[in-house]
Each structure stands twice: as structure tokens, then as C-alpha cells.
Amino acid sequence: DAKTTQPNSMESNEEEPVHLPCNHSTISGTDYIHWYRQLPSQGPEYVIHGLTSNVNNRMASLAIAEDRKSSTLILHRATLRDAAVYYCILVGWAGGTSYGKLTFGQGTILTVHP
Amino acid sequence: DSGVTQTPKHLITATGQRVTLRCSPRSGDLSVYWYQQSLDQGLQFLIQYYNGEERAKGNILERFSAQQFPDLHSELNLSSLELGDSALYFCASSVELTGELFFGEGSRLTVL
């Protein structure tokens, strides 16, 4: 499985932007980049995903490097509720369905200070 | 609410026992995934089913087994339980067109 590498932890102040990096140098052409987050005592929650182009949704933005070997999750204005563990994972596609073990790494623990 | 339902939410049992965890995926989702999360191991992928068939397998112990039924609900069976099996067990289902995973709230298993 293609692996992802993320910093163990990051800190931010409330209402400031946060850039969470992820390296995935062995990504294959059919791998989508997905981000999930896990708030304390909850199951992981989908945040955003993309293939090649940058993506925006109501939660965050995803910036994907031109060579696709890295990506950055951008929270435009961090809130206390954004304090969570953020996971970057690669999801392969074939035959119209996802495949692979969808392995979660250790993720990045984001701390948001008031 | 993700739409994925897991039961029971909490379970306390003794070593050597057997338990069954149940998962109902979101309506229309054909894939079901099981994950184990313990304090020292993070989120570990166990197994994936797609429309009743096993699709991918992770580090699932031989004492553990799973299946997905025709109505698409899934069960994870854990037998000969050991103290180290104490963990949160998450089920997720996926939207096949996007691969987005929807996780349930988990079943917390405590083995005494």
C-alpha cells in the first residue's frame, strides 16, 4: 500500500489558518487523496478528497502538488471544534469501486488555542 | 449522524469469551469496513466486504471473523478473547462513486 507521512502534531490559534501537510511520494495514478479527522471519543469523519486539482468544500480546502507527491489540508479559520487528529490516506480505484486497505497512519494531532 | 449504526455501543466481557459486533451501513452503501482502534495501535484496518464478498483483508487475527449478509449488514465475531482485544471497533461504509467513508460511533469492547 502506498504510504502517507504526516507530522505528529501541530498547533494553531483560533481563527487563524492552518496548513496540515501530507507526503505520499509513492502515490499511484489511480489513488485519490482523502482526509479524515477524528474528534475525541468519536469515529473518524470525512473532510475532503481530491485526485489532481485543488478542491474546496464547506469544511476545508485541499491543495495537491503538481507531481501529486504531497498535499496540504487547509482550514481557513481554525475553531476550537477543529481540534482533532487529522488523517491523510490514499484510496485506490478500480472497476468503479474503491479498493485497498485504506490504512490510516498515526495522523496529525491538531491543537487549537483560544 | 453518519447513518452507520453499530451495536452494542459498549460491551464488557471476560477472557476466553466470544462476542459479536453488528453494523448496519448507510442505505445504498455496498461496502463495509471494520477497524480496530486501541490506544497504542491507532486505527487498524481489519477487513472490507463489498456486496457480500470479502474484498480486502488487513491484520485481522484468526480468532476474528466477519461476514456481510444479503441485506448488507455486517457482523464481526471475536472469539477466545484476550485482554489485548480491548479496543474501540469501528464500522464504516462507503459511497462507491467517491470512496468517502462514513464511520459509525464504534463499539467499545472491554475484556476483563
Q: pLDDT of A84-101, one tens digit each?
A: 999 998 887 665 555 655
Q: Which residues of A touch B31 (CB under 8 A)?
A: 97-98
User: A32-66 pLDDT, tens per residue?
Assistant: 899 999 998 889 999 999 999 999 999 899 999 99
Burial pattern B10-26, b for ≥16 Cβ within 10 A else e, equals: ebebeeeeebebebbbb
Cβ contact B99–A43 (<8 Å) = no
- The percentage of chain A sitting over the pLDDT mark of 90, rounded to a whole number, equals 68
Q: Which residues of B touch A103 (CB under 8 A)?
A: 45, 58
B25 touches chain A (CB under 8 A): no
CA distance A111 to B102: 24
Q: How confident is the model at residue B96 (pLDDT cuts 50, 70, 90)?
A: low
User: B23-65 pLDDT, tens per residue?
Assistant: 999 998 988 999 999 877 778 889 999 899 998 888 899 999 9
Residue B7: how many other CB atoms lie within 10 Å: 13
Round the CA-based radius of gyration of chain B to a whole number and report it.
13
Cβ contact A99–B55 (<8 Å) = yes
Q: What is the mean pLDDT of chain B?
A: 92
Predicted confidence at residue A105, as pLDDT, reads 81
Predicted confidence at residue B26, as pLDDT, reads 95
Interface of B with A in 76-105 (CB under 8 A): 90, 92, 94, 96-105
